[in-house]
Amino acid sequence: MEGYNHREIEEKWQEKWALDGIYKVPDTEAGKNNFYQLVEFSYPSGNLHTGHWYAFAVPDIFARYKRMQGLNVLYPMGFDAFGLPAENAAIKNGGDPAEWTERQMEAMRTQLRSMGASFDWSREVVTCAPEYYKWTQWMFNQFLKNDLVYRDITMVNWCPKDQTILANEQVVDGKCERCGTEVVQSEQQQWMLRITKYADRLVDDLDKLDWPEEIKSAQRNWIGRSEGSEITFKLSTDDTVSVFTTRADTLFGVTYIVFAPEHPLLEILPIENRDEVNAYVVATKKKQELERQQSKEKTGVQLKGITAINPANGEEVPVWIADYVLSGYGTGAVMGVPQHDERDREFAEKMGLAIVDRPLVDKKEITEKVGGKLVKTYRLRDWGISRQRYWGCPIPIVYDPEGKAHAVPDEHLPWLLPTDVDHTPDGTAPLARSKELLERTEKIFGAGWRPEVETMDTFVDSSWYFYRYLDNKNEATFASPEKMDTWMPVDLYMGGAEHTTMHLLYSRFWTKALHDLGLVKDSEAYKVRRNRGLILGPDGNKMSKSKGNVINPDEYVERLGADTVRMYLAFMGPYGVTVNYPWDPNGVVGVRRFLERVWKLKAKIDVEKKVCKTDPLVHKTIKGVGEDIDEFKFNTAIAKMMILLNALEKEEKIVLGSYKALLKLLSPFAPHIAEELWHELDETESIHLASWPTYNTDFLIEETVTLAVQVNGKVRGEITIAPDIAKEDIEAAALALPRVIAIVAGGQPKKIIVVPKKVVNIVF
């Protein structure tokens, strides 16, 4: 082929690779260790954007590199196919979410193939497929049997736009994580997963993981373990109230007690100003937790007629309610110590409460003395998974005529999502409108039985998908223990920073729960985690249609080729650190030119030529590129290849082996062009099945030696030269030393003796 034409080669190789099944991964391969590289699978949003390329095509470099290093690499792909994006899009377009999702997945598969990524498609996982969600439901049943699932009335976050409950993790700055609508609080029954049972292990086990510190500390903060004391105060009514404090040492400085407005005691206390208190309770309901915590303007109401007794000194203090105390944390009641706590000080100053300076005491001792106990408390809440939407995994529960919940027995799984449903959200669960679901329930369980009509949060689906890749066709279990043994835990998990306290926390919990039930071996699923940043628009802003700065990768692929797009994204900066990079249209073209030059360089190959002065650089580049890839510094790896290309271009002729080495180094980055050029060298096997080039350390030894220079046996200086230069050149260098010139002073030396690598003696 003449010039480099990506259009002629990219599709051709993609088809050939698929046909030959070169990325199909066996569960074990003789003499090879397994390497499981996972990337977060995507929602079938329908169109692959630059972010997807960055998320999937750049890690593909690593997968290919590991494969060439002789590992049996699993790099699978699938779809997180249930959820609101598909449902909303389907509603908008007047279609059925299932059909819509199927169409989007098909389009995305084609686009994903266009990346030239080395996914093993035979292991594809689609979470909305009944073969998959059967196991999601089965696991739910296991958790239910083991008291990890329960139904409860709780205050929930309600998104008025998406018409569904959201988990705490899905509320960002008081807004729906998905649509940005202000979230409101409402009291509802929902199915809960007991993630709090794992709070300690979720914190402690972080220490074992090779994860970015930023994720670990974000998870620690989210779980918010706090060690302190629970101390009980007697009230004037003879009731008691417990407070949680991390500062028992300040007990003598307590000047009031304050309850969260939701505190259950409020209902039974004989409060004199009941109306005022009730009005405050109602007003609090309208406020977001975050707003309550951050508000500088403290509000509250004193409970008239009620006082509390400090157990340390018998002092009587007033009792208040205030919204800066949260009902879901600690005991929902606080001892106010304005002298030592900033929030309490603000409150005391505003309400005219006493601020007293009392000596601090030993925390542990005082706790014991007043009959309190040392406790741990957590910010983490149980995970509410009920969603009042259609497009999700049906919760496999049915209610008997008395309203008691029962698990749908395993033999009826998958408990299918009905299709006779109007999906338009109206605040009630669409499944309640399915005749078929009701009939199915009554037919199996009896008249008067009712189906659960809620579906599961999609984060449930993605909590275990990595197990299913290992055995995606197994009908007897979610994944066979043998297969899990050969692959788990995941060796490397790459993904986005947005998953820190959601997916990454949920799936850690899920794994621990499965582990405790004896269903999986490891209690942590991902050994190493690396987060990537975002690709921004050329203007440095997050890409968005409204800003008009969206880069459509397909256009670039068409114009410059998939290899260029992949390689450019890898060239933007180090991967695996959360840095965002702006797309630079000139940068892409620069990468394209580099590939064109690699193409042209082929003309310089001289098969007769065996050595070249670029040989040391070739070996240095092999070493450097490998080391950079190991550290996810794909950008500097590319820079090293560019330096090598420059040097090779300067030669009249180049050694075939050097060109082959360059192609191999290039192949993970630009798999199509590397494959094409490889075959033009009359290679018959795919370059992607070749092994990573090795380097010869002899070439890497520092290329100089230092010799002492003597005149008539006396040391007069030294010279540093290449080890293999000719004797005449060594003599000339020695005679050129200023001190030697001064002594010889224009005369002719009688004799010059060179002891290689040691000394030059000028006899004069």
Smaller CB separation from ligand ANZ, 289 or 454: 289
Alpha-carbon distance 231 to 584, whole Å? 60
Stretch that binds ligand ANZ, among 330-338, 368-376, 451-459, 469-477 (CB under 6 A): 330-338
Q: According to the binding rule CB under 6 A, does residue 330 interact with ligand ANZ?
A: yes
Which part of the chain contacts ligand ANZ (CB under 6 A), choosing from 324-332, 497-505, 543-551, 562-570?
324-332
Q: Which of residues 142-161 bind ligand ANZ (CB under 6 A)?
A: none
Which of 185, 165, 177, 166 lies closest to 287 in space, CA to CA? 185
- The region of 30-38, 43-51, 109-117, 336-344 touching ligand ANZ under the rule CB under 6 A is 336-344
Which pairs from 522-525 meet CB under 8 Å and 24+ separation? 522/488, 522/489, 523/201, 523/205, 524/205, 524/208, 524/209, 524/489, 525/466, 525/488, 525/489, 525/490
Contact call for residue 250 and ligand ANZ (CB under 6 A) = yes
The rounded distance, in Å, linking the Cα atoms of 392 and 192 is 16
Between 335 and 734, CB nearer to ligand ANZ? 335
Q: Does 384 bind ligand ANZ (CB under 6 A)?
A: no
CB 506 to ligand ANZ: min, Å: 23
Contact 504, 219 (CB under 8 A): yes
The number of residues in the chain equals 764
Residue that has been written with the tokens 């409060």 in this structure: 271
Q: Which stretch binds ligand ANZ (CB under 6 A): 328-336, 439-447, 633-641, 679-687?
A: 328-336
* Range in contact with ligand ANZ (rule: CB under 6 A) among 321-329, 485-493, 502-510, 670-678: 321-329
Distance between CA atoms of residues 398 and 449, nearest Å: 7
Q: What angle is formed at CA 33 by the lines to CA 28 and CA 34, rounded to 5 degrees?
A: 65
Q: Is 231 in the site for ligand ANZ (CB under 6 A)?
A: no
Least Å from the CB of residue 330 to ligand ANZ: 3
Interaction between residue 326 and ligand ANZ (CB under 6 A): yes
Question: What does the alpha-carbon distance between residue 275 and residue 115 come to, in Å, rounded to a whole number?
Answer: 66
Would you give the DSSP letter of residue 264?
G
**Interface segment toward ligand ANZ; rule CB under 6 A; list 91-99, 325-333, 558-566, 590-598:** 325-333
Residues in 644-663 at the binding interface with ligand ANZ, rule: CB under 6 A: none
Which CB sits closer to ligand ANZ, 247 or 369? 247
Report CA Rg, the chain.
Answer: 35
Residue from 149, 271, 337, 353 binding ligand ANZ (CB under 6 A): 337
CB nearer ligand ANZ, residue 218 or residue 743: 218
Is-contact 581 572, C-beta < 8 A?
yes
CB of 199 or CB of 618, closer to ligand ANZ: 199
Structure tokens at 713: 């046996």
Can residue 542 be called a binding residue for ligand ANZ (CB under 6 A)?
A: no
**Which of these ranges, 239-247, 489-497, 642-650, 695-703, lies near ligand ANZ under the rule CB under 6 A?**
239-247
Q: Which is nearer to ligand ANZ, 258 or 484 (CB)?
A: 258
Q: Per-residue b/e over 55-68, b at no fewer than 16 CB within 10 Å?
A: bbbbbbbbbbbbbb
Shortest Å, Cβ 355 to ligand ANZ:
12
Exactly one of 247, 304, 345, 358 binds ligand ANZ (CB under 6 A); which one?
Answer: 247
Give DSSP secondary structure letters for 467-536.
HHGGGTT-SSSSS-HHHHHHHPSBSEEEEEGGGTTTHHHHHHHHHHHHHHTTS-S-S-SBSBEEEE--EE
The alpha carbon dihedral of 177, 298, 303, 344 has a sign of: positive
**469 scored as a contact of ligand ANZ (CB under 6 A):** no
Which range of residues in 154-162, 172-180, 243-251, 519-527 is near ligand ANZ by CB under 6 A?
243-251
How do strand 149-159 and strand 164-166 relate by DSSP bridges?
A: antiparallel
State the binding string over 95-134 for ligand ANZ (x if CB under 6 A, else -): ----------------------------------------
Comparing C-alpha atoms, which of 25, 198, 81, 40 is closest to residue 526?
40
Contact predicate 560/243, CB 8 Å: no
Strands 373-377 and 383-384: unpaired
Whether the CB-CB separation of 28 and 66 falls below 8 Å is answered with: no
User: By CB under 6 A, is residue 329 in contact with ligand ANZ?
Assistant: yes
Positions in 341-380 near ligand ANZ (CB under 6 A): 341
Q: Amino acid identity, residue 295? A: S
**Beta-ladder partners of 92:** none
Q: Which stretch binds ligand ANZ (CB under 6 A): 108-116, 119-127, 201-209, 335-343?
A: 335-343
Q: How far is the CB of 216 from ligand ANZ (least distance, A)?
A: 19
Closest approach, Cβ 293 to ligand ANZ, in A, equals 8
Distance between CA atoms of 177 and 179, rounded to whole angstroms?
6
What are the tokens at 382?
């149980």
E strands, 194-239, are: 226-235
Among 236, 246, 307, 480, binds ligand ANZ (CB under 6 A): 246
Sign of CA dihedral 35, 40, 41, 47: negative
**Closest distance of CB 177 from ligand ANZ, Å:** 23
320 makes contact with ligand ANZ (CB under 6 A): no
Q: Is 335 among the residues that bind ligand ANZ (CB under 6 A)?
A: yes
332 is a contact residue toward ligand ANZ (CB under 6 A): yes
Nearer to ligand ANZ among residue 325 and residue 385 (C-beta)? 325
Nearer to ligand ANZ by C-beta: 48 or 321?
321
The amino acid sitting at 354 is: A
C-beta closer to ligand ANZ: residue 332 or 671: 332
Do residues 528 and 211 lie in contact, with contact meaning Cβ atoms separated by under 8 Å?
A: yes
472 half-sphere exposure, CB direction, 13 A CA radius: 16
Shortest Å distance, C-beta 108 to ligand ANZ: 43
The answer to whether residues 169 and 428 touch, using CB atoms and an 8 Å cutoff, is no
Of 142, 188, 226, 636, which lies in the binding site for ligand ANZ, with binding defined by CB under 6 A? 226
- Is position 274 an interface residue for ligand ANZ (rule: CB under 6 A)? no
533 contacts ligand ANZ (rule: CB under 6 A): no
Binding site for ligand ANZ (CB under 6 A): 226, 244-247, 250, 260, 325-326, 329-330, 332, 334-335, 337, 340-341
